[in-house]
């Protein structure tokens, strides 16, 4: 289940908290974009970078003990020299990019994500169940559209799958759709800092964002907009 679906299902957890940790108070438009198509029983889902780790975890879970050729990059400000078996390493402005090109099992990938939840996994690989995941092997840029209507393209991640459950998690308004384009505005109204935490750094990490997600969707030509309050 992706973090947007978790919010709408009232199942906020630590993964959802990490998604909103970087936001200050304010309105952040055109976030977590999704473009999806269904042809017969196959789905092609394009998204912006927010969904990368969840997509990697999902496909890795289906891969399980089996191994696949995994390519891409693991990106972080942390020193991961002792955590990863990487092909090469690039660094720019404090951002370290560890290039991956090796055979890995799904369980190995899952363990890495669980161990390093704040690290960005831009990995591409396939499962034996018909899932093909491709993610751009670079650090996502913080997009700053010129206007509210000037949205970035949802082309950072691409998943081809026949898994109806994955598709339903992304397009939960209508299960039997053909084309869907969905975007979200994050309106952060409050930052709730734990009052009993004396360590400023820890308090900042634990601080929750309270606000509203506005979900705008065009599915098979029908436009909808719904709001969901959240605290994460």
Please give the Cα distance from 185 to 215 (Å, whole number): 7
Average pLDDT score over residue span 147-156: 76
Is 39 or 196 the better-scoring residue by pLDDT?
39
Enumerate residues 6+ apart whose C-beta is below 8 A from 128. 62, 63, 66, 68
Examine the pLDDT at 146 and tell me if it is beyond 60.
Answer: no
pLDDT of residue 142: 65
pLDDT of residue 217: 98
pLDDT of residue 23: 96
Examine the pLDDT at 144 and tell me if it is beyond 60.
Answer: no
Average pLDDT across the chain, whole number: 94
- Burial class of residue 18, CB neighbours in 10 A (0-12, 13-18, 19+): middle
pLDDT of residue 197: 84
Please give the Cα distance from 216 to 226 (Å, whole number): 7
Task: Please name which of 76, 146, 68, 77 lies closest in space to residue 103, comparing C-alpha atoms.
Answer: 68
Average pLDDT score over residue span 160-186: 96
Examine the pLDDT at 195 and tell me if it is beyond 60.
Answer: yes
pLDDT of residue 201: 87
Please give the Cα distance from 124 to 134 (Å, whole number): 4
pLDDT of residue 156: 98
pLDDT, tens digit, 9 for 90 and up, residues 19-56:
999 999 999 999 999 999 999 999 999 999 999 999 99
Average pLDDT score over residue span 155-159: 97
Examine the pLDDT at 150 and tell me if it is beyond 80.
Answer: no
Query: What are the extents of the domains in the chain?
Result: 1-48+143-232, 52-133
The residue whose two tokens read 């999902």 is: 58
pLDDT, tens digit, 9 for 90 and up, residues 72-108:
999 999 999 999 999 999 999 999 999 999 999 999 9
Determine what percent of the chain is predicted with pLDDT higher than 70: 96
Q: Which of 79-88, 141-150, 159-168 has the lowest mean pLDDT?
A: 141-150
Determine what percent of the chain is predicted with pLDDT higher than 90: 88
pTM for the predicted model, two decimal places: 0.93
């Amino acid at each position: 289940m992706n973090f947007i679906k978790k919010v709408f299902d009232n199942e906020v957890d630590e993964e959802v908290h990490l998604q909103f940790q970087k936001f200050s108070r304010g309105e952040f438009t055109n976030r977590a974009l999704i473009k999806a198509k269904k042809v017969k029983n196959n789905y092609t889902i394009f998204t912006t970078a927010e969904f990368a780790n969840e997509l990697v975890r999902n496909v890795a879970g289906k891969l399980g003990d089996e191994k696949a050729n995994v390519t891409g990059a693991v990106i972080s400000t942390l020193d991961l020299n002792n955590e990863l078996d990487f092909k090469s390493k690039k660094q720019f402005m404090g951002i370290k990019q560890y290039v991956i090109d090796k055979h890995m099992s799904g369980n190995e990938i899952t363990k890495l994500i669980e161990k390093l939840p704040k690290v960005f996994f831009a990995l591409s690989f396939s499962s034996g169940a018909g899932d093909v995941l491709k993610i751009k092997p670079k650090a996502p840029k913080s997009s700053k559209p010129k206007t509210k209507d000037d949205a970035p393209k949802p082309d950072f991640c691409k998943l081809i799958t026949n898994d109806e459950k994955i598709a339903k998690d992304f397009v939960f308004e209508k299960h039997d759709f053909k084309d869907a384009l969905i975007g979200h505005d994050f309106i952060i109204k409050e930052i709730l800092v734990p009052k009993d935490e004396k360590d400023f750094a820890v308090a900042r990490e634990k601080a929750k964002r309270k606000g509203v997600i506005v979900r705008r969707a065009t599915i098979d030509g029908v436009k909808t907009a719904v709001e969901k309050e959240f605290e994460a």
